[in-house]
Amino acid sequence: MKKLPLSFPRLSNPLLSQSFFVFGARGTGKSTLVRQVLSREKVLELNLLEAEVEERYARSPQDLGREVRARLARGRLDWVFIDEVQKQPKLLDEVHAMMEASDTRSVRFALTGSSARKLKLMGANLLAGRAFVNELYPLSFLELGKRFNLDEALNWGTLPRIFALVSELEKQEFLRAYVRNYLKEEVWDERLVQNLDPFRKFLEVAAQASGTILNFSKASQQTGVNDKTIKKYFEILVDTFLGFYLEPYARSVRSQQLMTPKFYLFDLGVKRAMEGLLTVPVAPKTIAYGRAFEHWVICECMRLNRYLRTDFKFSYLKTKDGVEVDLIIERPGRGPVVIEIKSGERIAEDACTSLRRFLKDFESAEWRVWSNDPTPRMFGEILAQYWQDGIREIFDVSDA
């Protein structure tokens, strides 16, 4: 098995052979990551969250080129780090120009962003493949190691800031503030919507729908805006890295397959804050716990796929008569892994019922039930295993 790096606290590992982006929601640790990976380099840093810095480069983006050339004239400069570049997308034109200019070609650029939507709306120059793209998420159980606690993760999520807070009240206040700041700084200040009130109501609806098959008509009725606007709202969450789609399985297995995607929020603590349920614990052996556990496992797989560059494809499968497979992982050059996710601590053969309905529909598949049961068991062709062991096996990783 590959060893996860001991000296690097995050699994996201940007390659330093050329410039790179790090995209991710606010609070995931993008700035910290970049400073860590560039700690031995000569770096010019611009933090566009600082009003004075943003204003300067809004007035004169060309100042960036002048400052880089001045630094080069005075001595060595390896990297330019621009934090939250979506605040001033025009700077990307300056970056592109410097990448091609003979006198600045040696300098590389590290660029972070929490909104791909702002860059898209502005028609921003994304450097035509000259910068690798990385993404950063809340902390994985592999990154947390011995600090990981499943019940804590399901209740409070795993944004890095959460682990500096002690009391439940502090965690509640942090997550409430996170949602308020998202509405103000990412949505309203960036003019992603014209009216904030329906979008604020939509966040609660989206949180309640997280982990379920999208129903735009139902969300429209609950929010008071039309289906087209609801679709735009979901796209805003995806483009600001607060959520992602889990697509239906693309290949035809049954003629009655549902073909609408599911939607998942990126962090369970933020989800509970959006729902207004931070004071209601996610208790084991409840329906809410089971749903949160499934949500957590799917988020973990999506994160690790990006970090470890495995190029897996993820989907779910559900028939119109209600038979469902929670997760299908398609791996390049290998058969799919078909997975049922259960939160129980003691798995019996009846946990395999849904999977057995599809045994004849997949060729060369591996069959898994992932749960909180620490004892692996075989039920015919189906392996029931502890969820952490299953993820380590599929992604071929260990803790150290």
255: confidence class by pLDDT, cuts 50, 70, 90: low
371: confidence class by pLDDT, cuts 50, 70, 90: very high
State residue 251's pLDDT score: 77
Residue 4 predicted with pLDDT over 90: no
Look at residue 179 and give its three-state secondary structure: helix
Residue 36 predicted with pLDDT over 60: yes
Q: Which residues in the chain belong to E strands, given as ranges?
A: 2-3, 20-23, 43-47, 79-83, 108-113, 132-135, 212-213, 243-248, 262-265, 313-318, 324-330, 337-341, 366-371, 377-379, 382-386, 397-398
Residue 104 predicted with pLDDT over 70: yes
- Distance between CA atoms of 147 and 142, rounded to whole angstroms? 10
Quickly tell me which residue has 């995607």 as its tokens.
261
- Distance between CA atoms of 162 and 227, rounded to whole angstroms? 35
Backbone φ and ψ for 232, nearest 5 degrees, come out as -60, -40
166 located within any domain? no
8: confidence class by pLDDT, cuts 50, 70, 90: very low
300 located within any domain? no
124 located within any domain? yes
- Distance between CA atoms of 397 and 61, rounded to whole angstroms? 43
Residue 123 predicted with pLDDT over 60: no
State residue 129's pLDDT score: 77
147 located within any domain? no
141: confidence class by pLDDT, cuts 50, 70, 90: very high
DSSP string, 214-282: --HHHHHHHHTS-HHHHHHHHHHHHHTTSEEEEEEPSS-S-TTB--PPEEEES-HHHHHHHHT-TTS--
Q: Kindly give, in sequence order, each residue whose CB lies less than 8 Å from that of residue 88, ignoring residues fewer than 6 positions away.
A: 48, 54, 57, 58, 61
Query: What is the domain count for the chain?
Result: 1
Once rounded to an integer, what is the mean pLDDT over residues 247-252? 84
Once rounded to an integer, what is the mean pLDDT over residues 352-362? 91
State residue 275's pLDDT score: 96
107 located within any domain? yes
Percent of the chain surpassing pLDDT 70: 94
Residue 12 predicted with pLDDT over 50: yes
**Which tens digits make up the pLDDT trace of 277-304?**
999 999 999 999 999 999 999 999 999 9
State residue 121's pLDDT score: 64
294 located within any domain? no
pTM, to two decimals: 0.92
Per the prediction, the chain carries an average pLDDT of: 91
Pairing outcome for strands 262-265 and 212-213:
antiparallel
State residue 7's pLDDT score: 41
59 located within any domain? yes
157 located within any domain? no
The parent domain of residue 38 ranges over 2-135
Whichever domain contains 100, its CATH number is 3.40.50.300
